[in-house]
Structure 1
Amino acid sequence: MDHRILIVDDDKEIAGLVAIYLKNEGYETELAHDGQEALDKLAASEFHLVVLDVMMPRMDGLEACRRIREKAEIPILMLSAKAEDMDKILGLMTGADDYLVKPFHPLELTARVKSLLRRAYRYSPVSPESADGSAVLRIHGLTINKATHTAEFDGRTIKLTSTEFGILHLLAGHPGRVFSAEDIFQQVWKEKYFESNNTVMVHISKLRDKLEQETGNKLITTVWGVGYKIDV
């Protein structure tokens, strides 16, 4: 599958360098230099992932991320010169799937992009795993289909990012089992977990809110000091 990536950064030199890194990995890229231009390009053409800087004129990355999330579940990798935890949490809470602090190493950037694309597009409606129904989980009125990467409740599709779907599928596939944040990160992100990483907590919070809005039940239970679970 040929993936098209939209790179959004008002620093044209950085945007150009990111494009070079990703083109070297075989991706097709296009550039935008503020949030509004990014929204216009997303409305006019199909992209598979957005690399989105935070600090930009006219419309910053946080607002652009919110508006993208109103219409699409495309993976978003947010870039920022700010390394503080609250900045990272704010970025993830607006809908970003991952967060990378500038300056970054090209190998780290491409690894994050590959990981996001793998999570978002690794499932296919014609996956042989779905032939015997094993790809479908049903719990608390939810139907979770790994083959189509969708979750439904009462006939309605719940809008989830690829990361949120991965967490839900993991917990729902092992009802009653408690997963630590480290377990979840390593199984969903497929990367090494670092202590004081707030990424899982933020994504769990957003997933809980979406589940409660659609089902009236948060479903995911916190076992304080241990981790998270979905009860039978």
Structure 2
Amino acid sequence: MNKILIVDDDQELSSMLADYLGAEGLQVSQATDGAQGVDALLKGEADLVVMDIMMPVMDGLEALREIRRHSSVPVIMLTAKGDDVDRNIGLEIGADDYLSKPFNPRELLARIKAVLRRTDTSSTKPAITIDTLNIDSASRAATINRSKLELTSTEFNLLYLLAENAGLPITKKLLSEKALGRKLKPYERSIDMHMSNLRRKLAAHDAEHLLTTIRGLGYQLTPQRKSH
């Protein structure tokens, strides 16, 4: 049974979501502010965190920063409708996905299931080596020059998808459907934000040249050589 941690100071909404998700076979725990959420995550186990941004004591963005110092657990952020600034900051910090309030609980459930499917290691794919980059699907870990790349769940999925199709451009539409598990909305920049994070992490290992932006289309991993 997958464990979901809901972090939201709206206790009525949080309890309603806990009942709804629980009825769908998920084990749900709750926290009412960011500090409690971080503490609960680090003390216990969670397969995924659903976290609001606007909270007392420690807001969702600060809590996400703290979580990313210790864990790559998938995080879905809840944002105010039309609040593009907080949404983009959340993605920059390392959120895997976001959902704007108000939302239908069925949409949240669909997002949760999509993320959990992407992180399921029961049916693994072959490891891929491209130049000095190694991507291991079984452990969901990536290294470059034998140094670990600290990736979020979504960043790992994007990198693996690009590596599977190395040398070929992949559209943002396909990246969203395969790596995020949902269709890309008009004017949505979530894929661009995730790819910007991925490029920055590759650059820290002098490997940003591997990732190429195909203007007006999407992205491509461009190796010097590829082997399996």
**TM-score scaled to structure 1, two decimals?**
0.91
Q: Which moved more, 1:189-198 or 1:159-168?
A: 189-198
Aligned to 1:114: 113
Aligned to 2:88: 89
Aligned to 2:135: 144
Aligned to 1:224: 215
Aligned to 1:101: 100
Q: Deviations over 1:29-67 (max 9, x none)?
A: 111011111111112111111110000001000000011
Aligned to 2:157: 166
C-alpha deviation, 1:147, in angstroms: 2.1
Aligned to 2:188: 197
Q: Which of 162, 174, 178 is the matching residue for 1:183? A: 174
Secondary structure at the aligned position of 1:79 is classed as strand
C-alpha deviation, 1:87, in angstroms: 2.8
> Residues 72 and 152 of structure 2 are in contact (CA less than 8 Å); yes or no, is this contact kept in structure 1?
yes
> Which contiguous aligned blocks of 4+ residues in structure 1 show a shift greater than 3 angstroms?
none
C-alpha deviation, 1:217, in angstroms: 1.8
2: distance between equivalents of 1:74 and 1:190?
A: 17
2: distance between equivalents of 1:42 and 1:85?
A: 27
1:12-91 aligned within 5 A: 12-91=11-90
Secondary structure at the aligned position of 1:68 is classed as helix
Unpaired runs of 5+ residues, structure 2, are 224-228
Give the root-mean-square deviation of aligned CA atoms: 1.4
1: distance between equivalents of 2:30 and 2:69?
A: 21
C-alpha deviation, 1:137, in angstroms: 0.6
Secondary structure at the aligned position of 2:17 is classed as helix
Identity value in percent:
42
**TM-score scaled to structure 2, two decimals?**
0.93
Aligned to 1:154: 145
C-alpha deviation, 1:136, in angstroms: 1.1
Q: Deviations over 1:102-158 (max 9, x none)?
A: 1100110100111111112x114xx5x56xxxx011112011112221111222221
Unpaired runs of 5+ residues, structure 1, are none
Secondary structure at the aligned position of 1:43 is classed as helix
Aligned length: 222
